[in-house]
Amino acid sequence: MKLNLEIDMLRTFRAVHEQGGFTQAARHLYLTQSTVSHKIMKLEKQIERKLFHRTTRRATLTPEGKILLSEAQEILALVDATESRIAGSQLSGNIRLGIPEEFACGQLPDLLAKFRIKQPNVKLEVNVGIGQDLEKSVKNNQLDFAIIKKVTASTNSLARQPMKWVGLKGLTNRKKIPVAFFPKPCIFRETAIKALNDSNIDYEIVLTTTSHQSLYAAARSGFAITVMAESDCPKELVVPKTWKERPNLPLVSYVFCHQKNRAKPVQALQKLIKEQLKERISH
């Protein structure tokens, strides 16, 4: 049997083993659990062998999985060494990156940490802020590039996904719906308010915060409804379609805002972010 094993699948396989489960591996790799599961299922189908014994808490290797792990370790060690020789020592310089607050809470830190390890000669400075402020900082040459969100379709989109109303469904029965947002200027705030006004839905802003975790807490506690990107939404908090007056929300696009002339370290980091973001949102 001739196998054409993808390096990415082998990395995921190794991570599930080393981290002890699919949820832990997803967190470690900056992926969703469904993405990790999809990769392992694809690998098992390709080699026609079951690789893990799964329980609700752990994933342990089958005998076939142990054989593959031994081979995968050798392959990945060779690939890592080759990548390091080709790219690792060639990059140096500074990167000033701007990211949205929700990315800082869970989407990018692992990736950025790995980039710093692979590129020790690159100084990375990360600034967290609101999209429009980050865009202004790039234009003023205070940042080299930033990840920002747009509701208009763009040919330069890194990825696109739906916006979702998030909160406990009982709140939609109130005469005035309590809502929570980031402060102005915020694309999610502006889009949600426009949708509510266009649908003639009465609302009151009960919380304005710069913290993504505060928005989660407000939604989870039943204090307010907010709007988030689909990949950031806990499934149990997505407002169901039974909310008859639920305003439609557009897709949100993620794009790079960057200087005209991009240094090689910037291009390398952008490539990694683009690959991870597309993969995370595509499942």
pLDDT tens sequence across 92-105 = 889 999 998 888 87
Residue 229 has pLDDT above 50, yes or no: yes
Pairing relationship of beta strands 93-99 and 122-128 according to DSSP bridges: parallel
Q: Angle at CA 229, nearest 5°, toward 228 and 231? A: 120
CA distance 108 to 258: 18
What residues have CB less than 8 Å from 151, skipping those under 6 apart? 187, 191, 250, 251, 252, 253
Question: Per mean pLDDT, which range of 144-148, 159-163, 180-184, 240-244 is the poorest?
Answer: 240-244
Higher per-residue pLDDT: 232 or 182: 182
Q: What is the mean pLDDT of residues 42-65?
A: 90
Q: Each residue of 26-36: pLDDT tens digit?
A: 877 767 888 89
Helices 7-19 and 33-47, axial angle in degrees (round to 10):
110
Each residue's pLDDT tens digit, 64-76? 999 999 999 999 8
| Mean pLDDT within 158-171 | 86
pLDDT at 84: 66
Instruction: Work out the pLDDT band at 270, boundaries 50, 70, 90.
Output: very high
Residue 232: its pLDDT value, please? 81
Domains and CATH numbers, the chain: 7-87 (1.10.10.10), 93-159+254-282 (3.40.190.10), 162-250 (3.40.190.10)
Has this prediction a pTM greater than 0.95? no
Q: What is the pLDDT of residue 257?
A: 92
Q: How high is the pLDDT of residue 101?
A: 84
